[in-house]
Amino acid sequence: MNVAYLKSKIDIIITSESKKEEKLQAICDFLENEISYYDWVGFYFKNGDKKELKLAQYTGEETEHTIIPFGKGICGQVAVSNKNFIVQDVSEQDNYISCGWKVKSEIVIPIFVNGENIGQIDIDSHTANVFTEKDEELLEYICKNSSKIL
């Protein structure tokens, strides 16, 4: 993975004249197209004052998980912990919400605006044990820079 190249392309998307929603969708589409093991890419955001996340832009198979309560699944746990969560094998997680039988691993990185966790990027892969520090670095970069348009 060429992280520098991917970051430069993300910068172009974020600084484009497009609307916020279009930029987020473009990030999802770009990541899913560029990284072979990113099989589902999406953004979840805090749903108003409720203690739940609501699915926003995404690419990949349809999901029934459009609302996720805080604390449930990997995304819900990140909403509470405010920390990155990498699951190399979802079958080893007790508090996992299955998005489909194909999903083998997941990485979720929170997005902060003014110190508040307002959402996250969620990546599912059909390959187990696939995520590395490079994925974490790239996704942290995306979350940090996406926060500027949110």
Q: Domain segments of the chain: what residues?
A: 3-149
The correct answer on CATH 3.30.450.40 for the domain covering 3-149 is: yes
Express each pLDDT in 53-84 by its tens digit. 999 999 999 999 999 999 999 999 999 999 99
pLDDT band at 96; cut points 50, 70, 90: confident
Whether residue 93 is predicted with pLDDT greater than 90 in this model: the reply is no
CB 3 within 8 A of CB 137: yes
Select from 60, 63, 57, 53 the least CA-distant residue to 19: 57
Strand intervals (E) in 90-138 = 105-113, 116-125
Full-model pTM = 0.95
Residue 100 has pLDDT above 80, yes or no: no
Indicate if the pLDDT at residue 9 is higher than 80: yes
Taking only the tens place, the pLDDT of each residue in 105-144 is: 999 999 999 999 999 999 999 999 999 999 999 999 999 9
Which residues are within 8 A (CB) of 58 and not within 5 positions of it... i.e. 6 or more apart? 28, 40, 41, 42, 43
pLDDT the model gives residue 35: 98
pLDDT of residue 5: 98
CA 136 vs. chain centroid, Å, equals 11
Task: Grade residue 85 by pLDDT with cuts at 50, 70 and 90.
Answer: very high
pLDDT for res 91 = 87
Task: Tell me the C-alpha distance between 22 and 59, whole Å.
Answer: 12
Tell me the CA end-to-end span of the chain in Å, nearest whole number.
Answer: 27
